[in-house]
Structure 1
Amino acid sequence: MKQNIGNIDRGLRILAGLALIGATLGGAIGPWGWLGLVPLATGIFRFCPAYLPLGLSTCRLSNKRRQ
């Protein structure tokens, strides 16, 4: 698995995931907040499968290797 998520993208994903899970646990948005596990997991593992078919990468390291 190649990393395709950079630092800023990673931080935003982790924050969004934690916010959604926290809102669910607090009873604010119901069970839909458990979808926050997806951005949380992609941020932790630094890999987003949705980026593959689009050829996207926000990771500086892989962008330098492509040039």
Structure 2
Amino acid sequence: MSKNIGSIDRIARIIAGLALIALAATGTIGWWGWIGVVPLLTALLSWCPAYTLFGFKTCKLSD
């Protein structure tokens, strides 16, 4: 599993994931906001299965 998410992409995923989780936890957007766990996990792993499937890569370094 090589990295395929760059630093800007990671930051955006972390912010979006935390925002969705926070909104779901406060009941603002309902239960579906817990989907924010997905971008948060992909950012922490620096790997996105969808990017692998479609051959995308936003990072400059390769493992």
Range class of TM-score, shorter chain: over 0.9
Q: TM-score, normalised by structure 1?
A: 0.89
Pairwise CA distance, 1:26: 1.1
User: RMSD value over aligned CA atoms?
Assistant: 1.2
Q: TM-score, normalised by structure 2?
A: 0.95
% identical equivalent positions: 56
Matches within 5 A, 1:1-67: 1-62=1-62
Q: Which runs of 4+ in 1 moved over 3 A?
A: none
Count of matched residue positions in the alignment of Structure 1 and Structure 2: 63
Q: Cα deviation per residue 1:19-65 (whole Å; 9 max; x = unaligned)?
A: 00000111100100000000000000100000112111001113xx8
Instruction: State the alpha-carbon separation in 1 of the partners of residues 53 and 36 from structure 2.
Output: 22
Q: Between Structure 1 and Structure 2, which shows a larger proportion of helix residues? A: 1
Instruction: State the alpha-carbon separation in 2 of the partners of residues 37 and 61 from structure 1.
Output: 25
Q: Which one has more relative contact order, counting CA pairs under 8 Å at least 6 apart? A: 2
Moved more, 34-43 or 53-62: 53-62
Segments of structure 1 that go 5 or more residues without pairing to the other structure are none
Segments of structure 2 that go 5 or more residues without pairing to the other structure are none
